[in-house]
Chains A and B, each alone.
Chain A
Amino acid sequence: MVDFAYARPTTLAQAGQLLAEPEATALAGGQSLIPALKQRLARPRLLVDLQDLAELRGVEVNDTHVRLGAFTRHADVAADPRIAEALPALAHMASVIAHPQVRHMGTLGGSIAYNDPGADYPAAVLGLGATIVTDRRRIAADEFFVALFETALAPAELILQIEFPRHRRSGYCKIAHPASGLVDTGVWITRLPDGVRVAVNGASPCVFRQAELERRLAERFDPASLEGFEQPAAGLNDDLHASAAYRAHLVAVAARRALAMALQY
């Protein structure tokens, strides 16, 4: 593995200073970063472990929002009855990320900051229209996910919390690669008071909103609205795991299943 130094700051100010050092990288649960370090896909000089920062912790559920600290681990989201009540699709998503050992370490903030196309959480964050609260500002989900492994975060900017609006009528379905568990294609659907949001993950380099599905489902939030829908294959990922044409097909499949889940809630 690449050689690096390690620091574990206890205050946000310390963390900010350390992250401002050249080639410093934030470490959350490490379930994506450590494999990347082994493959030398990342070569930091300094890892800044965020586990002691109290500002990144905590789960708060109020009448309008579910506010999760960036360091909230997947297993904790999956097991929290308040989250299951407020946003059942989010609890479901957390319960199917990778496998149990990964869910015990991996964090929400780490997942969205890394923005792996095969990650689950970006679909929930974009699909629910969540707000990413950093140590500097609030970023709307629509502005946050920029490109493959790229977000709107500035260098050394830290995610503190993610605020999810309580749109209970949401559903998620992913078709995961059977070996890696990464998402080949997934769809998140949320019914808003005044419309529908649909986010597609896994299928393309970066999670995206599917405007045609949003329009169809806003007219009628019903499986019949999906009849005849076809996702264009252009621009979708085409690799050894799945062809672009197959992923396009999976968008329609996952959309039907995600809608079925949303209709349960």
Chain B
Amino acid sequence: MPKLNVTLTVNGQVRSHDVEARTLLVHYLRDHCGLTGSHVGCDTSQCGCCTVDLDGRAVKSCTVLAAQVHGRDVTTIEGIGTVERLHPLQEAFRRHHALQCGFCTPGMVMQGIDIVRQGRGTDEAAVRQDLEGNLCRCTGYQNIVDAIVDYAGSEAERSAVQR
């Protein structure tokens, strides 16, 4: 099959690659953009390790074709913070020891950001419900939930101060 051009904004930069139509977004990001932070845990839409932000909404990049998001805006784990300056949710993960092997962490963080953005981060039950599509085989989830709730609380405080 002939290749097609897929151009999108990834972490604020325009990326353009000619790819096969069947290329999944996660492979576009990993193999063509060199952004290997989004992980392929299951490739069956179960584990959520590949979660990225698409125009302000968390999606599983293993279940989206790159061609489907041509022209759109994608943020990956690489786009939210740096090693020197972590995203506050990454900071909270570190503080709460919310990871062990770290394989699921990029997806957990991207989904956690989405949960907090939707105003569901301060309710522990809602956080647990909204993590239904993310699997962690190490931590038992408690510290992940704690980190998200902690980050949501500080975000709520911050926006209250700004008001």
Q: Which residues of A contact B (CB under 8 A)?
A: 1-6, 8, 27, 30-31, 34-35, 37-38, 47, 49, 51, 75, 98-102, 104-105, 179-181
26 chain-A/chain-B pairs, Cβ below 8 angstroms: A4-B1, A4-B21, A6-B4, A6-B21, A6-B67, A8-B67, A8-B70, A30-B63, A30-B64, A34-B24, A35-B45, A35-B63, A49-B67, A98-B133, A99-B132, A100-B115, A100-B130, A101-B58, A101-B60, A104-B54, A104-B57, A104-B58, A104-B59, A105-B63, A179-B46, A181-B132
Interface pair B22/A4, CB less than 8 Å apart: yes
A-chain residues with CB within 8 Å of residue B51 when the two chains form the complex: 101
The contact size tier of chain B is 20 to 34
Which of A4, A6, A34, A75 is in CB contact (< 8 Å) with B64?
A: A34
Interface pair A5/B2, CB less than 8 Å apart: yes
The winner among A3, A35, A104 for most chain B CB atoms within 10 A is A104
B-chain residues with CB within 8 Å of residue A102 when the two chains form the complex: 45, 60, 63, 133
Which of A47, A51, A104, A181 is in CB contact (< 8 Å) with B21?
A: A47
Interface pair B57/A75, CB less than 8 Å apart: yes
In B44-67, the 8 Å CB interface with A consists of 44-46, 48, 51, 54, 57-60, 63-65, 67
B-chain residues with CB within 8 Å of residue A99 when the two chains form the complex: 48, 130, 132-133
CA distance A101 to B42 in the complex (A): 15
CA distance A4 to B3 in the complex (A): 10
Whether B155 sits at the interface, judged by CB under 8 Å, is no
CA distance A3 to B21 in the complex (A): 8
Interface pair A100/B133, CB less than 8 Å apart: yes
A45 nearest in chain B by CB position = B1
CB contacts between A and B, total, < 8 Å: 79
Interface pair B65/A30, CB less than 8 Å apart: yes
Whether B20 sits at the interface, judged by CB under 8 Å, is yes
Minimum C-beta distance from A199 to chain B (A): 25
B-chain residues with CB within 8 Å of residue A38 when the two chains form the complex: 43-44
CA distance A38 to B65 in the complex (A): 12
Whether B111 sits at the interface, judged by CB under 8 Å, is yes
CA distance A105 to B60 in the complex (A): 9
